[in-house]
Amino acid sequence: MNYFNYRNGILHAEEVSLDRLADDVGTPFYCYSTAILKHNFQILQDAVSDLDTIICFSIKANSNIAVIKTLATYGAGADVVSEGELRRAITAGIPSERIVFSGVGKTRRELEFAVDNNILQINVESESELEDLNAVALARGSFVKIGLRINPDINVNTHEKITTGRKENKFGIEWPRNLQILRNINDLPNIEVVSIAIHIGSQLTDLQFFRDSFKYLRNFVLMLRDEGIFIKRLDLGGGLGISYDDSTTIPTPVDYVEIIRENLGDLGCHLILEPGRMLVADAGLLVSRVIHVKQGTTRNFIICDAAMNDLVRPAMYEAYHEILPVIKPAVGHKKCLTDVVGPICESSDTFAKQRLLPPFVRNDLLVFVTTGAYGSSMASTYNSRQLIPEVLVKKNQFSIVRTRPTYENMLMMESFPPWL
């Protein structure tokens, strides 16, 4: 279901026209649809209704507290990978007992903060981290519940930079070290392993990879039971892909959950799902304005006011995002091959190469579609550019849920040393 549609020739987010938003907010900016967030969450929630499951939104996909709170109102918990994300989850009203702390490089301070907040579980990814966590638990007199993240050495068909389940990746603990840790866990009296965690990568569009990883997890759990080790929860991570260009058949959340049910549904374990992209990607647009149209001898360029610091996925992952005009072109318009680029002094600041697009002129508005995941959350201030606003729409209402900082505010964060 799509809540971004043309009405009277103008692209709308639900019932709010994007040209009006551009005038009120200024470009570039991100725009999110409440209706799509609700729709995406509801589909997954309905699919797991017969399973003992908690859905923990992976905050790294979109860390805006209004987006997090919106999903929380529908029942989402949170999967966090830093103290900052944990603080955002708490600020957005997610109860501590619905928060999972993942990540391969948690600091002692982050572990202390997580223990102090008594979250659902901390996913441990190395023996060194386990030692740190045990020391924190002993110092605080706390009893800490953890998930042990295993590395199944499964190679998936996704971008190399977002695969996480191979031995060559930094994530999880390999066999047989994970088994040895579980055998010796009684040596750590303040630690209880309540969960086995697994996550093999992001933007996965072939269910066979999930089937392989869940079979691996099932066999591991059964082997542990044979040794007298009983696990209460299974953390299945996330990774289900979405469509960016309609060229690939994408499994539905219902298809994905059926794989879970077939392989893990009879184990009697509480299940944790950690979706990110599938909940928020198609709920977001990046709205930008054309600064210049540049005619070259071999290329035509549209130079817009959004840049790679605002949306880094094309530069970092060669990612595709559909580009649409805010004002619908006239019937019979002629498209031409165009490069769409930003103003940053990097050749990598390119959103599209030789894309067949309708004609654009200066000051026209365009949107980059499906940018609700890993757009704003990966943004930077490279070239001393301001972080851009984020707007949340609900029916005919909109609210700026992150403001554009002033240059003065940006400079106030820095200072001269005494010798200058």
Other beta carbons within 10 Å of 296: 8
Q: Using CA atoms of 347, 352, 353, 359 in order, give the dihedral in degrees to the nearest 10.
A: -120
**pTM for this predicted structure:** 0.95
Strand, helix or coil for residue 174: strand
Q: Are 164 and 204 in contact (CB under 8 A)?
A: no
Residue 345 is among the residues annotated as catalytic for this protein? yes
pLDDT tens, position by position, for the chain (420 residues)? 579 999 999 999 999 999 999 999 999 999 999 999 999 999 999 999 999 999 999 999 999 999 999 999 999 999 999 999 999 999 999 999 999 999 999 999 999 999 999 999 999 999 899 999 999 999 999 999 999 998 876 655 554 544 444 455 566 787 778 888 898 888 898 999 999 999 888 899 999 999 999 999 999 999 999 999 999 999 999 999 999 987 778 999 999 999 999 999 999 999 999 999 999 999 999 999 999 999 988 899 999 999 999 999 999 999 999 999 999 998 888 999 999 999 999 999 999 999 999 999 999 999 999 999 999 999 999 999 999 999 999 999 999 999 999 999 999 999 999 999
- C-alpha 122/C-alpha 195 separation (Å) is 9
Joined together, the tokens standing for residue 110 give 């982050």
Q: Are 18 and 8 in contact (CB under 8 A)?
A: no
Cis geometry, peptide bond prior to residue 417 (ω within 30 degrees of 0):
no
- C-alpha 173/C-alpha 170 separation (Å) is 9
- C-alpha 92/C-alpha 276 separation (Å) is 16
Would you state the pLDDT for residue 373? 98
Q: Sign of dihedral through CA atoms 389, 373, 382, 342? A: negative
> Which of 56, 269, 336, 345 is the catalytic position?
345
Q: Are 204 and 158 in contact (CB under 8 A)?
A: yes
- C-alpha 316/C-alpha 297 separation (Å) is 28
Pairing state between β 10-13 and 16-17: antiparallel
Enumerate the H helices of 269-382 as residue ranges.
277-280, 313-317
In the chain, the domains with their CATH numbers are 4-31+282-412 (2.40.37.10), 63-275 (3.20.20.10)
Q: Are 3 and 253 in contact (CB under 8 A)?
A: no
